[in-house]
Amino acid sequence: MSENWATLRELLLPVSGRRGRQVESALRAAIRDGRLAPGVRLPSSRDLATQLGVARGTVTAAYGQLVAEGYLVSRRGAGTSVAASVGPVDAPGADAAPGPPAWRFDLRPGLPALAAFPRAEWVSATRAALAGLPDEALGYPDPGGLAELRAELAGYLGRVRAVTATPDDVVITHGGAEALSVLAPVLLARGLPDIAVEEPGHPGQADLLRANGLRPVPVQVDSAGIVVDALAATPCRAVVVTAAHQFPLGVALRPDRRHALLAWARERDAVIIEDDYDAEHRYDRPALRAMQAMAPAHVAYLGSVSKTLAPALRLGWLVLPPALRADTVERKRLTDLGCSPLPQAAFARLLRTGGYDRHLRRTRTMYRHRRDALLAAVASSLPTWQPVGVAAGLHVVLRLPAGTDDAAVQRRLAGRGINTPALSTYTRGGTGAPYPGLVLGYAATTPDRLRAAVAEIAAALTA
């Protein structure tokens, strides 16, 4: 075999004896056990013969036999591929994992309108960003994030959220979940094992913090936001709050509560994690400045594109107090060596050219129309159900009449193919939900579908 051996399309195929029948049997076995999946294109007969050290006619004969048996397909100009109709033989007794439910109406909160993702602008930004990246940027990345994106985010967040930050204060993460995952061990190492979480709140958030070594402590939320007196009664010196638009209740943290929370942080030398998960979406009022702007030494600001562009991008950020940044970057380095520079560079370009602002302007209008359509349908068909919270975000809580078992309502609607999470499912054994309710996401559903969903809900509950 030549010392300069090379192949166009490599295929590792264990063959004993390297004769025609062995090549044919090895290919058939690889297809049957799933090593060669349906649709996989195989090397040309000349290429595979070179790899195996056999005559080309041997491979041609093996391919021809397997085409005749239906294992392979061969088309002029397209080469030879594994047939789409074949696959691995299932092991005896193996059961396929159940997939997610096929909902007729999926009104779970948390998803933006994925069909509104600016595909053309993202492709253009990605192409331009890649062309502009120096070769060295394609090596192992800065674990703190691409310098270009950190600079753009510091400017953007200062402009739209009044965040006080330099590029050095920003750390890029794989979404908000990883931001908490890398920050939690840093807090633990600094002697902050207990962390307060809002009650009701996102159940996955408490699970994530617990999985990373912290002890979540639920603290009551009322119509004015987190109850600071209840927080002060706990041993916690860290808290996660959704101050701009509490999840799930949808209330904004009242100004006096904001000041009380910041005073608590100063008195206890505590850390506030401000989860600004959907503050970009507001429909009847200007934005409030982030709490981070009022006490940058005590507030870690968290954001992402999951509610504005798409969760699949896995792009988030932390704006950290100086005392926490070095340890958090080191934790990020040990976790995954840093985020890919390519989507970071594309997002930086979208910020710099105004594409992100244009996208938000379009989606704010869309989401307001969808929210209005949902609430008008509820007012007409379910007049005893009352919306709660400010006109913002991607979801709304509908307060049910007193004494209603909201979990039972959720189960009944699920039986009709309607996914409407109960407010009680967002509690973790603290004070519980303040009232029965359903948490309905509207951003990912068209107005006509929202009206149809409300009609189905009303029919299901009166049947």
Instruction: Look at residue 14 in the predicted model and tell me its pLDDT.
Output: 77
Q: What is the C-alpha separation between 409 and 254, in angstroms, rounded?
A: 31
* Closest by CA position to 117, among listed 344, 274, 306: 306
Residues whose CB falls within 8 Å of the CB of residue 351, separated by 6 or more in sequence, listed in order: 149, 152, 153, 156
Specify the DSSP class assigned to residue 282: B
* Closest by CA position to 315, among listed 361, 290, 346, 289: 346
Q: Are 101 and 419 in contact (CB under 8 A)?
A: yes
Buried b / exposed e over 157-184, threshold 16 CB at 10 Å, is bbebbebbbebebbbbbbbbbbbbbbbb
Q: What is the C-alpha separation between 335 and 343, in angstroms, rounded?
A: 19
Q: What is the C-alpha separation between 86 and 84, in angstroms, rounded?
A: 6
Instruction: Provide the β-strand partners of residue 169.
Output: none
Q: Are 324 and 186 in contact (CB under 8 A)?
A: yes
Q: What is the C-alpha separation between 425 and 406, in angstroms, rounded?
A: 9
Region of 18 please: left (phi>0), alpha (psi -120 to 50) or beta. Answer: left
Quote the tokens at residue 60: 């041609």
Instruction: Look at residue 413 in the predicted model and tell me its pLDDT.
Output: 97
| pLDDT digits (tens), the chain, 463 positions | 444 555 677 888 877 655 668 899 999 999 998 999 999 999 999 998 888 888 999 999 999 999 999 999 998 888 999 999 886 655 444 555 666 778 999 999 999 999 999 999 999 999 999 999 999 999 999 999 999 999 999 999 999 999 999 999 999 999 999 999 999 999 999 999 999 999 999 989 999 999 999 999 999 999 999 999 999 999 999 999 999 999 999 999 999 999 999 999 999 999 999 999 998 999 988 888 999 999 999 999 999 999 999 999 999 999 999 999 999 999 999 999 999 999 999 999 999 999 999 999 999 999 999 999 999 999 999 999 999 999 999 999 999 999 999 999 999 999 999 999 999 999 987 678 999 999 999 999 999 999 999 999 999 998 7
Give pTM, 2 decimals: 0.88
Q: What is the C-alpha separation between 202 and 312, in angstroms, rounded?
A: 19
Instruction: Look at residue 95 in the predicted model and tell me its pLDDT.
Output: 58
Q: What is the C-alpha separation between 409 and 457, in angstroms, rounded?
A: 10
Half-sphere CA count of 462, side-chain side, radius 13 A? 8
Q: Are 450 and 442 in contact (CB under 8 A)?
A: yes
CA 19, chain centre distance (Å)? 51
